[in-house]
Structure 1
Amino acid sequence: MVPEDEALMRRIAVGDEAAFALLMDRHLSRAVALATRVTGSRAVADEIAQECFLRVWTKAASWQPTARVSTWLWRIVMNLSLDHMRKARPEPLDDVPEPVDPGLSPEAETERNALGRALEAALAGLPARQSQAVRLCLIDGFSQSEASAALDVTEGALESLLVRARRALRASLAAYAPAEVGQA
């Protein structure tokens, strides 16, 4: 039987390294993905994830099970990521082209790449909280409960952020799908 995160936290609080390794294995990739989305840098995201799990190890004894462990982890990652963004100028995203899909024609590939760049530009143009809400819920697959906890807002406030973000994204991306924009 696989232990629940809360049981692992109780074991980590008394210094159980195996429990810590299991919790880290379970959540590291998602922590790195979240930090990468916020910071735009995989290298910075790796550092943030390491700092997050260092805090888990050092603060495990004071952890209170008022929320799920994963929600607590995403809040730590989000706070560390936002702290990094406040302290440092954002680094430009890597200019490495996406792998070519052999099933797409060159024209379709070019169009897909242009749409991806337009989406990134539209997300960058949103207010920070709206952009974070979109990335968490629509890109990273967080539930609204998890995302609201990570952003430290109510679920109602998160929904408002998402509604405003969707409206702004529809307007920004209207040129790419004018017939579909009004239907969404």
Structure 2
Amino acid sequence: MARLLLIAGDFVEDYEIMVPFQALQAMGHEVDAVCPEKREGDRIRTAIHDFEGDQTYTEKPGHDFTLNATFAEVEVAGYDGLVIPGGRAPEYLRLDERVLEMVRHFFEHEKPVAAICHGAQLLAAAVSLEGRRVSAYPACAPEVRLAGGDYAEIEVDQAVSSGKLVTAPAWPAHPAWLMQFNALL
């Protein structure tokens, strides 16, 4: 099975870290969850984003998530794929040059990448999305387009694959998103 890197940060979307972290392990993959400036055993805060009929999602406190690897010790060459959950974390993670270098590695070496929701913000900051069909939370569509991507307007429970990249708009897409990512692994 594959060895996967999951990059997250405080106020990552709760379901978008918890579900893939557990589901990918249940499929037999090894998943190392890391956060800049944090070590194995440290916790990050999560937020629950829900769709309740407002103009955008609502946000509520989520569970704390315990990291199982140390960011400073990551050697990206040893990983077969990358998982980027959404929430508010990608907004500031994209300012960290080491995070951007890590993301670039997976694209440069044509390794599978799964990004969901606001994870597209991190993709757009790290690499050109030229020639790729990319889904994300609709508010990230301008960033996908500015990075050269073809923004995929799909239902919230769907995912889209473009080469080695699998993207989805939000956590209701977990079954489709994880199935497509697993097929690439």
> Shorter-chain-normalised TM-score: which range?
under 0.3
Normalising by the residue count of structure 1, what TM-score does the alignment of the two structures yield? 0.26
Normalising by the residue count of structure 2, what TM-score does the alignment of the two structures yield? 0.26
Q: As a proportion of its length, which structure holds more helix?
A: 1
